Amino acid sequence: MGSPVRALTRSTLRRWPLPDPGNEADKETRGQVLVVAGSPEIPGAAILAGEAALRAGAGKLMIAAPREIAQGLALAVPEARVIGLPQARNGDLDAAGAQKLLQPLAAGVRALVVGPGMQDEARCVRLVNSLLPAFRHAPVLLDAMAMCAARDSSAFSQPVILTPHAGEMANLCGMTKEEVAADPLAAVRGAADAFNACVALKGAQTYVCLPGQPAWRFDGGSPGLATSGSGDALAGLIGGLAARGLSVEGACAWGVTLHARAGHALARRMGPLGYLARELSHEVPAQLRMLGDGSH
């Protein structure tokens, strides 16, 4: 199997050249992302993930969120088609009703992101499990509560990305957070194998691993990235890159790198702490250009 861990650097990104849509390409060529996210208490997560997907170069964006916050999201992200999902009487997402609205959209979607800002674990897991069969053709990124679908099911049989931090990894794998922190490489490799998924374990060092493959370690993070909403932006970046045609491993590698470089750019301009997650995606197009967007 080779070395158990490899350094993820600017030079190793060449393993996954970004698809070049060409000068004549339209928005369909760069792919459509569907972001299923948000809740009445955390509506902004859908904005952070959706905008990041577009900044990563995806051509079209759909956001699906609880009906009571849909209009606000539509005004906040005018580039997106926003779908209001039905809610139960207590305000939580109606998983069965959401499934009926979203499944017919699957054919046109090149990447699906589920979970940012969603709070009801049981309903979120039911929704994930109902959507996976319809989206077998597209990479599916599960974030936050949506990752619990991995814990409650057998290994995935389609391309899936999981993006846990140490606490979420501990919850998924039946470990303590301290155990994950003590050996993150073992944790990420074990999770990738157990769930048959590409896992990006976020932290001061971020590890990306496919089942049965050596992991990648990224050392270029910064303290300012540890802020509310940062993970939502990362999920959107990875989803946007997957929609453009990158493999799940390549989308994670590029997403992690762009996320960190955006943080460093903000730190140089504003200081190491205090920049906001909403500002990260604005830095991404310039970072894509510097890293050689579309190069082969």
pLDDT at 99 over 60: yes
Among 19-33, 86-100, 156-170, top mean pLDDT goes to: 156-170
pLDDT at 184 over 90: yes
Beta-carbon contacts of 162 under 8 Å, excluding residues fewer than 6 positions away, are 141, 142, 143, 147, 150, 172, 191, 195, 197, 198, 199, 200
Instruction: State the residue for tokens 């926003």.
Output: 82
- Domain total of the chain: 1
Q: State the pLDDT at residue 127.
A: 95
The whole domain housing 102 covers: 5-9+29-290
The DSSP H or E segment spanning 242 is helix 230-243
pLDDT at 253 over 80: yes
Q: Is residue 19 situated within a structural domain?
A: no
Percentage of the chain modeled with pLDDT above 70: 95
Instruction: State the residue for tokens 């944790």.
Output: 187
Q: State the pLDDT at residue 30.
A: 80
Q: What is the pLDDT of residues 195-233, one digit of tens each?
A: 999 999 999 899 999 999 999 999 988 899 999 999 999
Q: Is residue 241 situated within a structural domain?
A: yes
Nearest to 128 by CA among 155, 104, 109, 147: 147
* 3-state secondary structure (DSSP) of residue 270: helix
Q: Is residue 197 situated within a structural domain?
A: yes
Q: State the pLDDT at residue 88.
A: 84
Instruction: Output the six-digit token pair for 200.
Output: 């990006």
Q: Is residue 215 situated within a structural domain?
A: yes
Of the ranges 86-90, 161-165, 210-214, which one carries the lowest mean pLDDT score? 86-90
Q: State the pLDDT at residue 157.
A: 93
* Mean pLDDT for the stretch of residues 33-46: 96
**pLDDT range class, residue 293, cuts 50, 70, 90:** low
CATH number at residue 229: 3.40.1190.20
Q: State the pLDDT at residue 2.
A: 45
Q: Is residue 14 situated within a structural domain?
A: no
Q: State the pLDDT at residue 153.
A: 67
